[in-house]
Chain A
Amino acid sequence: GSDSGGGDGENVSLELLVPIYGDKTKPYWEQLVEDFEAENSNIDVKLETQSWDDIYTVMTTKIQNNKAPDILELDAAGPAYASDDLLYKAEEIVSPETYDDIEPAFIDSAKIDGQAYGVPTVASTRALFYNKTLFQQAGISEPPKTWDELLEAAKKISALGGGVYGYGMPLGSEEAQAETSIWAYGAGASWEQDGKMTIDTPEAREALTFMKKMIDEGATQPNPGATDRTPLLDVFIQGKIGMIEGLPPIVGQINEKNPDLDWEIAPSPTKDGEPVTLGVADYFVGFDKDEDKQESIAKFLDFFYQQENYVKFNDNEGFIPATKSGAEAAAAKPELKIFLESLPDAKFYPATNPAWGQTSGAFKSDVGQIETKSVDEVIKSIQAKADAEG
């Protein structure tokens, strides 16, 4: 290892670990690394890509063996590594110019004790995708704004029969926490208070109760408890679901897989129409392994955030950019309009709370049980898991 690190002439090797969003992810990074290395001959970037399924397993092993990568892109779990004192601060891994370009809202969402550790790469919010054809058939003219309207519309669509369902509610283990959060935030709930996880709140109970009502009254697809998001989105794309909460990349998928679908996006319905929705961002974090690679890391990330590279990344994956300059570019795209508009009302996961990981896991494994068990029982078990010592 070198002491001075990063300086010109000194050879530095950077390990970069990124998850795969879709089929354009890997080529993008390969190109980027190549371009970067062409400019910085002394820095060797070793790219490792993993599927979202496996990246957590791989990371756990790496951390356990003190072999963390230098740069990691991950969801909000990334900045959370700071709670084990593993990370550089956010402003240490990018230049001040880059740092300033980033939407403060996103930075804030990943702060621990007021300190940011991750630099947001992409962001997204949720919105209601709906099938206009089915709406017409069911005689619904307006997308629902409140839960009651949603329930009513969904029931009407379900009543069409023929394998068509009103509302797609994915509570399977893939991303149950997202669906739950949309509903709970819509009732004004918040998952964290004073550093503690607050799951068992009246608001959340209300949300879960209404979700159960949706299920019980046949407004959703069958077996929502065991339905994962990705396959359900595909069903929506195939025109068999009236409404579903979706996020920006779905737009591209619909265009690709079923361009004939007549669809539209509306803001997520809430309990009484208050605009609020779930916001999510992914982050870059840099691991501090006492190796003085900080400068090289910063070089690389700055390169990534160069307008041209960064916009291409977001275009590829179909997300909302997290930088101010990026957002300006994105505003030109009509399909992102609703998402961009809902950004100010977006509420994020309390992802930097060390207990969020297990809480989110508890949602994944338990919340689907509202289909069969009482809301009380389910919510208590999630709260218990959230409270467990890490």
Chain B
Amino acid sequence: MATARNKALRRQARKQSTLQALPWLAPALVLIVGVVIFPAGYMIYTSFRDLSRFGKDRGWAGLDNYVRVFGLDPLSTVLTNTVVWTVGVVLATVLVSLVLAQFLNKRFPGRKVLRMVIIVPWAASVVMTSTVFVYGLDPFYGIINRLLVDVGLIDEPYGFLKNATSGFLSAMAVAVFVSVPFTTFVVLSGLQTIPHDVLEAAAIDGAGKVQTYWRVVFPMLRPALAVAAIINIINVFNSLPILKTMTGSIPGNDADTTTTFMFKLIQNDRQIDTASALSVVNFAVIIVVIGVYLKVVKPMREVSA
């Protein structure tokens, strides 16, 4: 009887609090619904329309666009690339950031300056950063290429961005390069919220640096890290500028992710409607990816709860 009473009470309490939540969530909801939901709906709508090459709406298309998307030859290559791209970049970013944040959290002369330096790749627009890399990696007038030759790492300038494999890898490196600052700072500020006394307790319990890190610091960093990872997954998955500038001139789709592929569908193939369908598919894929991630990592589970 007690449990039945209990349940009924709890249900009632919960319903109440959802209503109570509304005023707190309202501003965010208004913005989201007002600015994102409409165009998103429009994107989905477009994916069911038949558009001319120039964008003129010629009526209902049913599932034609989707059929076409799944009939695209390079789709499997592109999907594989997308997975490699997202997983590779995010993992590398997180790893580098963890190390870097740890380093930046130490006290040493010049730390403040270093922190400011590290923010630069974040502050610079991604397009510009990749443009500089394109410029620097050019086999003819690229300064990075010259530097590599001058220090003897390579014998002659190499066309890093001239073939799919090395171009894709270079783009991944740049993607890591531009994602690291943000991730580092999230981790860094996460580190600040870890109570010092718990670290003392770990020291007393005989944990060395490494053990303290993995067993105490890291788990307590998890909420911050999980958020940083989510943001990175989404950003990296959706990242257009890096690949567009760096591998855009490489023929074929060997260096394309779904995002750049979609872009090429619009730009080169003038298939606006197919591209819309692809972007809906793209959206579905990222939702699945994030869903899996949430399921596995459970970032909403707070440390102390």
Contact = CB atoms under 8 A, between A and B. Distances in A.
A226 B251 contact: yes
Given A57-B266, A365-B252, A390-B270, A226 B161 contact: yes
Contacts of A361: 264, 267-270
A61 B159 CA distance: 35
Contact of A227 (B55, B249, B267): B249
A357 B53 contact: yes
Interface string A50-63: 00000011011111
A226 B269 contact: no
A63 B272 CA distance: 11
A167 B155 CA distance: 23
Interface stretch (B19-27, B134-142, B284-292): B134-142
Contacts of B46: 64
A72 to B, nearest CB: 11
B251 A84 contact: no
B250 A388 contact: no
B54 A358 contact: no
B140 A368 contact: no
Nearest to B265: A361
Interface string B41-63: 00000100001111111000000
Contact of A358 (B248, B249, B253, B270): B270
Interface of B: 46, 51-57, 138-141, 156-157, 159, 161-163, 167, 248-253, 264, 266-272
A365 B264 contact: yes
Contact of B54 (A81, A163, A235, A369): A81
Contacts of A390: 52-53, 270-271
User: By DSSP majority rule, is chain A's interface helix, strand, loop, or mixed?
Assistant: helix
B251 A163 contact: no
Nearest to B252: A369
Name which of B46, B54, B266, B272 has the most chain A CB atoms within 10 A of its CB.
Answer: B54
Contacts of B159: 222-223, 226
Nearest to B263: A57
Contacts of B51: 64
A68 B303 CA distance: 54
Interface string A145-180: 000000000000000000100000001111010000
Contacts of B141: 231, 234-235, 238
A18 B64 CA distance: 34
A173 B266 contact: no
Interface string A348-371: 000000100110111011111101
A86 B269 CA distance: 20
A interface residue count range (under 10 / 10 to 19 / 20 to 34 / 35 or more): 35 or more
A225 interface: yes
A228 B131 CA distance: 14
Contact of B250 (A81, A84, A354, A368): A368
A83 B56 CA distance: 10
A355 to B, nearest CB: 8
B251 A176 contact: yes
B162 A223 contact: yes
Contacts of B156: 163
Nearest to B64: A389
Nearest to B253: A365
A276 to B, nearest CB: 25
Given A64-B272, A226-B162, A358-B271, A366 B54 contact: no
21 contacts: A56-B267, A62-B55, A64-B51, A80-B54, A83-B54, A171-B251, A173-B250, A174-B249, A222-B139, A222-B159, A222-B162, A226-B251, A231-B140, A234-B140, A235-B141, A238-B140, A354-B52, A357-B270, A368-B249, A368-B252, A390-B270
Contacts of B54: 59-60, 63, 80-81, 83-84, 86
Nearest to A77: B54
A202 B271 CA distance: 28
A369 B267 contact: no
A240 B252 CA distance: 28
Contacts of B253: 365
